[in-house]
Structure 1
Amino acid sequence: MSQVAIVILNYNGKHYLEQFLPTVLTHSSGHEVWVADNASTDGSLEWLRAHHPEVHLLQITDNKGYAGGYNYALKAIEASYYVLLNSDVEVTPGWIEPVIAYMKSDPQIAACQPKIRAHDLRSHFEYAGAAGGYMDYLGYPFCRGRIFDTREEDNGQYNDTSDIFWATGACLFMRADAFHQAGGFDERFFAHMEEIDLCWRLLNMGYRITYCGYSKVYHVGGGTLHKSNPRKTFLNYRNNLIMLYKNLPIGRRWKTIFMRLVLDGISSVRFMATGAWPDVWAIVRAHFAFYGMVHDLSKGLKRTTYRAPLYYRSVVWEYFVNKRYTFPELPQLYKKGFPIAPKS
């Protein structure tokens, strides 16, 4: 069994493999590199076999999405640590060692992410993860280094290690036994927010989710679904509701979901104002899809000790009303490094 297995889930991403896989191989010497292919039709498999026979290839017969694809792949790969790496990520020299060393320092660290910078604006943080993810009490994810559409320039302000709420799936270091103990990703998500759901469950199990700013990668983002795609809107809105239903304490569940439904309605008005009607219908479909899943979600719920700390204010209010656009500007109440909510 290898210590570290780098696993790239690919779906019609041949152009990204051509661009970024050679760098992954160069800067990951001594570690296994796998490509799990989600039934691509763009010649990815043929290109891999011809140009990189040293890469371990795992074929999946149908597109199972991010959640199902990684669950399928990681059942077949033996390692102490997995690195779940998007195909549109450029890694840098020495990107693995600081994270693995940090995770080895505490067996309760289940997951860790490096610093995520933007490939298109290399001095700034990227949307998907930035310097570590958090969640406000209404279920809105945000990051150190990125809140909604505002990305901070990286001036070394997050050159640290820190406990966070969620680590990005774009470059996700996972302790293998913790991943399997938690049951992996929830395949009902298909794609988007499944890593936040997994991190939330791991926190409730007593594990730590962390960030290591001494490792750095560059992420293109939107490689499979661009942020303007209504399919992405549907998945984000539906999956957020699923995540809240699954992970919130019973006493806060429906109150929080009701507030989110109202806020989702307000956001659909913003889409209307810009003429983005496909996104409006995507939100409507997301809500009805969630309603249709409640019975199934209820059957799978387990009572757990609630440990996951949520940010105690509304990040939407702070950003859009109070004009606080960066993480350091947010009012913060810390407990073990977290901006948190009072106990429910």
Structure 2
Amino acid sequence: MNSRTFIILLNWNGKEDTLACLKSLEKVTTPHKVVVVDNGSTDGSVEAFSQTDAHLIETGENLGYAEGNNVGIRYALEQGADTIFILNNDTTVEPDILEGFLKRDIPIQGGAAHLMDHPHFLDHLGGNWNATKGSFDLVGARAPAGEWTTPMALDYVCGVALFVKAQVFRDVGLFDPRFFLFWEESDWCFRAKKKGYTITTCPEAKLYHKVSASFTGGKPHTSYFWWRNRLLWIEKNCPNSPLKWKVIKEALHILKLYLLKSLQYPFSKKTPERRLRLRTYCAVLLGVRDYFLRRFGAGQGNLS
């Protein structure tokens, strides 16, 4: 266990969550170095983290999950890291979490993220690609944690807690910054699998996840990135597949629903649910549009 492990926390206006995560990391028994990458926060995060033992890197702007974490990964590689642990800032960890990862000689592992509000249940462990649906089947989603105590190989492990041998990043490269949010860890894991790397879950590496603390835009915000990046993922990983047209057909159905509901809206009761449904449909359509216009990165991330 002499591995030089760097733990990377990405923060964007999540001061209190990140401070709670840092406090839990102070109890981790395995030697490590914590790096906090601040993505242009305006909530006093930088001042707060400057008072901690973590190494702070300021990006000055919101680079998203992909490029924000890349900043931390580059630093860790420059510092001679042997292993890199990418950890969501809205988590707390068990003191022996690194021991769980390090006892297995596996290049890519995902931690067992339990729901913070329901700690006997998992968030999800990762997923396997379903070529029929053109999306991933999640594994262990909201399942009793006691039923998932054996390591298993997956197509990708959840980016909430991603433990990687540094050499894999040197060989495979970093996250594709075009994704910004969503699909980036599955894209990276697919690239790693193509190079022959094994990807497994690590049930002993236990943590607790607040879930979607950074997605302040709500469902429309989430839908925009999920649909846009789904098309980008298919383009990159299934280039000769007709799946893109399947997704477009689904989007056309949503367009019909959007037009129909928009026509009905002036004559219907203005409930929050109806407004949210229209905004979500609109976000999906904007995501598909921006894919074809090659507007990646933050894109329409400010959906309101």
TM range (shorter): 0.7 to 0.9
The 3 A distance-change label for structure 1 pair 120 and 142 is farther
Q: Give the 5 Å matches for 1:29-178.
A: 29-50=30-51, 52=52, 54-77=53-76, 78=79, 79-102=81-104, 104=105, 106=106, 109=107, 111-126=108-123, 130-137=124-131, 138-146=133-141, 151-154=142-145, 156-178=146-168
Aligned partners of 1:287 and 1:141: how far apart in 2?
18
- The whole-number CA distance in structure 2 between the counterparts of 1:216 and 1:5 is 17
Closer, same or farther in 2 for the Cα pair 1:14/1:269, shift >3 Å?
A: farther
Q: Distance in 2 between matches of 1:56 and 1:277?
A: 43
Quote the Cα distance in structure 2 between the aligned partners of 1:97 and 1:265: 49
Deviations 1:152-210 (A, max 9, x none): 222x2210111101111111111212123222011111111111111111111221111
d(CA) in 2 for partners of 1:81, 1:92 = 18
Assess, with a 3 A threshold, how the Cα gap between structure 1 residues 112 and 268 changes in structure 2: closer, same or farther: farther
Question: Does structure 1 retain, via aligned residues, the 8 Å contact 2:12–2:214?
Answer: yes
In the TM superposition, residue 268 of structure 1 has moved relative to its aligned partner by 6.6
Return the offset for 1:261.
Answer: 2.1
CA displacement 1:289-339 (0-9 Å, x = unmatched): 111229x9xxxxxxxxxxxxxxxxxxxxxxxxxxxxxxxxxxxxxxxxxxx
Say which of 169, 172, 184 aligns to 2:174: 184
Residue 266 (structure 2) aligns with: none
1:76-134 superposed Cα distances (whole Å, 9 cap, x missing partner): 223111100111011012111121222x2x4xx3x2101111111112111xxx23322
1:263 aligns with 2:250: yes
Partners of 1:267 and 1:124 lie apart in 2 by 33
- The verdict on how the C-alpha distance between 1:208 and 1:264 changes in structure 2, with shifts beyond 3 A counting, is farther
CA 1:62/1:24 → structure 2, altered by over 3 Å: closer, same or farther? same
Give the conservation status (yes or no) of the 8 Å contact 2:125–2:158.
no
- Size of the aligned set, in residue pairs, is 277
Structure 1, unpaired ranges of 5+: 297-344
Between the aligned partners of 1:244 and 1:66, the Cα distance in structure 2 is 19
One-letter amino acid of the structure 2 residue matched with residue 262 of structure 1: K
Query: Match for 1:134: what amino acid?
Result: N
Contact 2:39 2:60 in 1 (8 A): yes
Structure 2 unpaired stretches of 5+? 262-272, 297-304
Residue 144 of structure 1, CA deviation: 2.0
Residue 132 of structure 1 aligns with an amino acid whose one-letter code is G
Q: Is the 8 A contact 1:131 1:213 kept in 2?
A: no
> What aligned pairs does 1:177-216 form with structure 2 within 5 A after superposition?
177-216=167-206
2:9 aligns with: 8
For 2:56 and 2:128, the matched residues in 1 are separated by 34
CA distance, structure 2, for counterparts of residue 263 and residue 37 of structure 1: 37
Identify if the C-alpha distance between structure 1 residues 152 and 291 changes in structure 2 by more than 3 Å, giving closer, same or farther: same
For residue 302 of structure 2, what is the aligned residue in structure 1? none
Task: Please name the residue that 1:283 is paired with.
Answer: 284
Kindly indicate whether the alpha-carbon contact (under 8 Å) linking 1:227 and 1:233 is maintained by their aligned counterparts in 2. no
Q: Is the 8 A contact 1:114 1:171 kept in 2?
A: yes
Seq. identity, %: 26
* CA distance 1:44–1:207, change in 2 (3 Å): same
